[in-house]
Amino acid sequence: MLFPDFRARRMRETSVFRRMIRETKLSCDDLILPLFVVKGKNIKKPIESMPGHYHLSCDNLVKIVKQAYSLNIPGVMLFGISDKKDSLATSAYDPNGIIQNAIKAIKDSVPEIAVLTDVCLCQYTVNGHCGIVYNGKIDNDTSIELISKIALSYAKTGADMIAPSDMMDGRVGEIREVLDKDGFSNVPIMSYSVKYCSAFYGPFREAANSTPKFGDRKTYQMDPSNQLEAVREATLDIAEGADIIMVKPALSYLDVIYRLKNEIDLPIAAYNVSGEYAMIKAGELMGWIDAKQIIMEILLSIKRAGADMILTYSAIEAAKELENQSL
């Protein structure tokens, strides 16, 4: 049936019709808010390249988490910013460490919200790499021993989900084994399975003080040219016990999200990363774009590509907009 018998615009004529046939719907349930935690009290230091985000001490962290929960955001992802760095990332698994104290503070104040903990070495090592460095190279197997040790420390403190972001081979299996042996078989793993070596991480590296002191991360993060490799990485992590597969970044890799959604049977997370967020905020500052509308369009595109959940620095803004749309 062709024009004039068929007119596609009929079902776009009113907002009610558009709502009735809408194929993709974004909700607060899709959102996870990343947050940066530092040691101390009464700290709320702006992150220059990420307007609206801060380095937060636990007291101020809890205030933001309460706001997120009041907006029906189901989870937060924690990143610790360490002031004590060494070659073996010892502050990462300190029982009285930054993330450990942050987990306790959130669970004491907002126990209903899910606390996800990023697990990596880059914020805690003097060299800024995601693995342990020996003779100028990343030692994979030594690194995963420490990564699993950090994961167990977070689980013991009360983390609801462990999210390894280091991209070391075998770390999901190592974490799963360690958690299971210590009685944490119920704690799921959200694996950064498909993490590309991307220029979009620039603002995050400033925020987390995790820029490598030498070289780059191309020997462990993925080549942006590759899509089939993403399927292979995801498949390996599933075999090792991952519960959720993440693609990072999101916006430039919607094709990868879509392919994984069609080829694996686990939930897909996508990380709407710092560089994507910073570009929107820069455009807003210059008065060139309607940031609110662009945020919602970007998140909808990530959802449409197949993501079941989206880690985004725009979570609070998006939740407020979704709340307004429902009124």
Contact 190, 163 (CB under 8 A): yes
Of the residues 85, 195, 281, 303, only one is catalytic, namely 195
d(CA 172, CA 210): 22
> What is the distance between the alpha carbons of residues 77 and 177, in angstroms, rounded to a whole number?
23
Could you confirm whether 248 is annotated as catalytic? yes
Q: Which pair of tokens denotes residue 118?
A: 């990023």
Pairing of strands 244-248, 54-56: unpaired
Q: How many C-beta atoms surround the C-beta of residue 315 within 10 A?
A: 26
Q: What is the DSSP letter of 48?
A: T
Distance CA 91, CA 89 (A): 6
Reply yes or no on whether 84 is catalytic: no
Q: Cα 289 vs. chain centroid, distance in angstroms?
A: 25
Q: Is cis: bond before 203, omega within 30 of 0? A: no
SS3 24: coil
Find the Cα–Cα–Cα–Cα dihedral 103, 170, 87, 84, rounded to 10°.
Answer: -10
101 vs 39: CA distance, rounded Å = 9
CA distance linking residue 7 with residue 5, whole number of Å: 7
Check 39, 248, 261, 303 and give the catalytic one.
Answer: 248
Q: Is 217 in a helix, a strand, or coil?
A: coil
Active site residues: 195, 248
